[in-house]
Amino acid sequence: MMPYDLSPLWLSLRVAVISTFFVFLVSLALARLMNRRDFFGKSFVEALILLPLVLPPTVIGFGLIVLFGVNGPLGILLEQWFGFRVVFTWIGAAIASFVVSLPLMYQSVLAAYEKVDPRWENVARTMGVSEWRIFRTITFPLAWSGILAGLILAFARGIGEFGATLMIAGYIPGVTETVPLAIYFAYEAGDMEKALFWVVIISSLGVAAITWVNYWRKKTAIRIGRE
């Protein structure tokens, strides 16, 4: 028998998986746009994407409450259209994870795209192949190792998100209690054993993820080779 209720672990995994899924889709599209197009205000847009990297988590949490709170513009829309609230729910935790992990994934994907030689795509174009098929069969597979590294980073960042999550989702045991929140409140309550238990769990996940990424990168580099 496990000594503690494992619901914080399952909730953290659910939050991180869902936020990473959306981070993946948004980053692929955003990085593609920024990699291929020049437009007025591009630097400003890029600064906005990367902003969560340099902002204190409390600022991000505050911004999310303003946007998604019961009186916030997006909060009102979501409640009217889909009938759900973001504040004090696990969805709020997922949105906080999304915002903080997006810049990490975006940077990884952008770097991965930049490593794909544009000549490969141009060759495919001269052969009459559509842009979507070129992306699917050339760009994405050749950028995959960088994209995967970004995914793991985003997932790890998502699972470890604390500050903004606390502000928008609060601490409701069994509802919004993720592993980082469980650690903090166990420590606050003086339950060092419980805090240590969760520290070991989340650290093990982090080490496993990074080890696997490094192994995968080497393996993929050998398999693909270079001209």
Partner 1 sequence: MLLVDFQKQLDHFSLEMQFELDREILALVGSSGSGKTTLLNCLAGIVHPDVGTISLNGQEFFSGGQKPLKIQKRKVGYLFQDYALFPHLSVEQNILYALSRGTDVSHITELTKILGITGLLGKYPHQISGGEKQRVALTRAMAVQPDILLLDEPFSALDDANRDRCQDELLRIHEKWQIPIIFVTHRIADAEKLADRILRIEKGQMTEQTVY
- Encoded amino acid at 121, one letter: E
- In the complex, minimum distance from the CB of residue 190 to partner 1, in angstroms, rounded to a whole number: 55
- In the complex, minimum distance from the CB of residue 182 to partner 1, in angstroms, rounded to a whole number: 43
Asked if 221 is part of the footprint of partner 1 (rule: CB under 8 A), the reply reads no
Residues contacting partner 1: total by CB under 8 A: 20
User: Which letter does DSSP use for residue 108 in this model?
Assistant: H
- When the beta carbons of 5 and 117 are compared against partner 1, the nearer one is 117
Q: Which residue has the tokens 């988590």?
A: 57
Query: Where in 35-94 is the site for partner 1 (CB under 8 A)?
Result: none
Choose the binding region for partner 1 from 12-20, 89-97, 172-180, 218-226 (rule: CB under 8 A): 218-226
45 to 36, 38, 41, 51, 106: CA distances (angstroms)? 14, 11, 6, 10, 12
Annotate 132-163 with b (16+ C-beta within 10 A) or e (fewer): eebbeebbbebbebbbbbbbbbbbbbbbbbbb
User: Which letter does DSSP use for residue 116 in this model?
Assistant: S
Query: Where in 103-142 is the site for partner 1 (CB under 8 A)?
Result: 117, 119-120, 122-130, 137-138, 141-142
Nearest in space to 227 (alpha carbons), one of 83, 111, 117:
117
- In the complex, minimum distance from the CB of residue 115 to partner 1, in angstroms, rounded to a whole number: 11
- In the complex, minimum distance from the CB of residue 145 to partner 1, in angstroms, rounded to a whole number: 11
The residues of the shown chain that bind partner 1, judged by CB under 8 A, are 117, 119-120, 122-130, 137-138, 141-142, 224-227
